[in-house]
Amino acid sequence: MSIGESIRSFRLKKELSLTELASRCGITTSYISSVERGIQTNPSIGVLQKIARELDVPVHHLINHHGLPIEEELNEEWRTLAREAIQSGVSKEQFKAFLAFRKRQKIK
């Protein structure tokens, strides 16, 4: 989910129109609309803070593509896998090397 899609989702949950949100934030309706539609893809942190405040959500909920706190994305299965890797002797450097290797594979 993009930042704009997250904003729209939270805005609709709060039952706010674009105009209401824009007025409360002191931002133009057209700007918020362009963010929601993905035309403006890089809103400033100041704009995101204003929007997040009016939507009663932390800024990272707007930025995070799932609209969930980052901590919630790290589910128990991932925690268990990380513990098992540590217990088996996998170092951070080895894990970073593996991730770098996988990124190179995807590029090819």
**What pLDDT digit, counting tens, does each position of 4-58 carry?**
999 999 999 999 999 999 999 999 999 999 999 999 988 999 999 999 999 999 8
| Average pLDDT for 65-92 | 72
**Centroid of chain to Cα 89:** 32
Tell me which CATH code domain 3-71 carries. 1.10.260.40
- Per-residue confidence (pLDDT) for residue 50, from 0 to 100: 96
Rounded Cα distance between 80 and 87, Å, is 10
Segments making up each domain of the chain, as ranges: 3-71, 74-107
* Entry pTM: 0.60
Q: How far is CA 77 from CA 66, 69, 73, 91, in A?
A: 18, 17, 11, 19
pLDDT at 69 over 80: no
